[in-house]
Chains A and B, each alone.
Chain A
């Protein structure tokens, strides 16, 4: 159980359960429309800005941001976009950051992909695994840690 913090907007504790039922969030779907994203598939928000528009450094995102006006986006989807805005994030990290089950996140990601708001890169296919050069790089990188 979480210690209650008066400044925490989520004043209710975990025992209260989710305020919005997960099936409402996914509109009853348990599988994404297109494909199932791997836990380490990397997601990046596809900015609707033109390429020469610089990213606003820490501009408030939800509400009046570029996706705030996107009709029908749940706050969770807006949160996903804001997470993946600066650097690619894995599906697993998104789920952990949002504190949502991976299955739910996958459904939301499927919608965002269909809407053209994100791009997803698959992990290295097993057949190409492991590329000798990359493994060497990983070993050296680990040694240097």
Chain B
């Protein structure tokens, strides 16, 4: 793993955070901290923040990217005279696998005009969860399209609001015209266990894709 300075990140002598995974005595003290990134995408109001909050060990934090309109060109602010700034909120959460290995979840900003932010988020991402609502399936088309084009492993998780049924899985798979190996599963974004299953399915899928690519 590359490091800006050649020194590795030291293991802290005092563990301050209560949610730290148990320290593994076998682990070399200079093992660099490793962070993996998973994106949570989907339409507005589909439950991205809820899912992040359900599995995260920290309360969903919001991180904000401040944008100036100059040079962006995509903002439709016709008639607005002064230069304004827009704040884009991104939710994120964290899961500590062990000391020095953490998983970070990022809820992607909803509006289409923030696509360029996705590129930064997607860079180096392990994979993505596309949350879908069967009542507004078309809302997740852009996300599916985005990850397919870039070859980023993703799973589609159908958030069961009010009794989405089993057949929803096949229906969604067909409607989204997904590649056969792309997992589609039902989930309840409010439930931690359900969210965990989605993440496990994603990491397993990413792992399979990676193995397949190595063989090619």
Please tell me if B69 contacts chain A, counting CB pairs below 8 Å.
no
| Contact present for B124 and A123 (CB under 8 Å) | yes
Most-contacted residue by chain A among B3, B36, B62, B196 (CB, 10 A): B36
Known A38-B124, A126-B124; contact A132-B32, beta-carbon cutoff 8 A: no
| Contact present for A42 and B33 (CB under 8 Å) | yes
- Total interface residues on A, using CB and 8 Å? 49
Distance of A23 from chain B, by nearest CB (Å): 10
Please tell me if B64 contacts chain A, counting CB pairs below 8 Å.
yes
Please tell me if A120 contacts chain B, counting CB pairs below 8 Å.
yes
Per DSSP, are chain A's interface residues mostly helix, strand or loop, or mixed?
mixed
Q: Which residues of A contact B211 (CB under 8 A)?
A: 132
Q: How far is the CA of A104 from the CA of B10 in the complex (A)?
A: 26
Q: Which residues of B contact A80 (CB under 8 A)?
A: none
Chain B residues engaging chain A, CB cutoff 8 angstroms: 1-5, 7-10, 12-17, 20-21, 32-37, 55, 58, 61-66, 68, 87, 90, 92, 94-95, 97-98, 101-104, 106, 120-121, 123-124, 126, 192, 196, 199-200, 203-204, 206-207, 210-211
Please tell me if A79 contacts chain B, counting CB pairs below 8 Å.
no
| Contact present for A39 and B121 (CB under 8 Å) | yes
Q: How far is the CA of A133 from the CA of B9 in the complex (A)?
A: 21
A-B contact pairs, 12 of them (CB 8 A): A22-B66, A38-B123, A40-B35, A54-B13, A86-B15, A88-B9, A123-B34, A125-B2, A129-B36, A135-B210, A137-B97, A139-B204
Q: Which residues of A contact B102 (CB under 8 A)?
A: 90
Return the chain B residue nearest A35 by Cβ.
Answer: B4
Q: Which residues of A contact B206 (CB under 8 A)?
A: 130, 135
Please tell me if A57 contacts chain B, counting CB pairs below 8 Å.
yes
Q: How far is the CA of A103 from the CA of B117 in the complex (A)?
A: 12
Return the chain A residue nearest B193 by Cβ.
Answer: A145
Q: How far is the CA of A143 from the CA of B92 in the complex (A)?
A: 21
Q: Mark A69-109, 1 if CB is under 8 A from B, else 0.
A: 00000000000000000111010110111001111100000
Q: How far is the CA of A136 from the CA of B207 in the complex (A)?
A: 8
| Contact present for A139 and B1 (CB under 8 Å) | no
Distance of A138 from chain B, by nearest CB (Å): 5
Please tell me if A62 contacts chain B, counting CB pairs below 8 Å.
no
